[in-house]
Structure 1
Amino acid sequence: MTTPNELRLLPWSGPGDKPCYLSTDDLDGYMSRLADGIEAVQLGTAKELLQEASEALDNQDTSPDEMRCLVAELTGALRDVYRVAMSHGRLRATSYPSESAY
């Protein structure tokens, strides 16, 4: 079993938007693979939204309503990407303590 410092922050939240963590020694286990897959989808969505945002900014005909909708989607994607970054940063810090000083 992992120590509390080695818990993996999962890419979804629980009731009340509280973080969910995974404690396992099996990096290839079902829950680890599920979390990896969801993170990949979240990062792919963020990449697509960045492209969409660039196009919307270049398009003079983009309406304020379209921009508001895009900002809402970008906010959600940024929240997901931030959670992935925090999870991976935490894993890296526990896996490679000498590199956590960066």
Structure 2
Amino acid sequence: MTENTNAPEKEEPKLEELIEFPAKLTFKFIGNNNDAVEKIISAFFADKLTIACDISAGRKSRTGKYITFNVTTTVNDKEILYRIYKEGAELPHIQHVL
């Protein structure tokens, strides 16, 4: 039996179809375990994005080298969402944004 190569590919849903904006979302910022990380995240949301957020410390890694911060905020559009992931991951002491 041969595969039908003329079958249309299934399209992935677009972001706008998955999330209705404005949306209250929680992000995980994983960073180096030091006192500056929470201040850096707070300044990023307040000064650069100018949106309010709630930040709470999460778990430390098994070795104690990294810490997770949970950041909850209201995202008004997909551009801000993308900026949080892209620019957030570029912040000093931040390893990943999930």
Q: TM-score, normalised by structure 2?
A: 0.24
Of Structure 1 and Structure 2, the greater helix share is in 1
In terms of Rg, which structure is larger?
2
User: With structure 1 as the length reference, what TM-score do the two structures score?
Assistant: 0.24
Higher strand share: 2
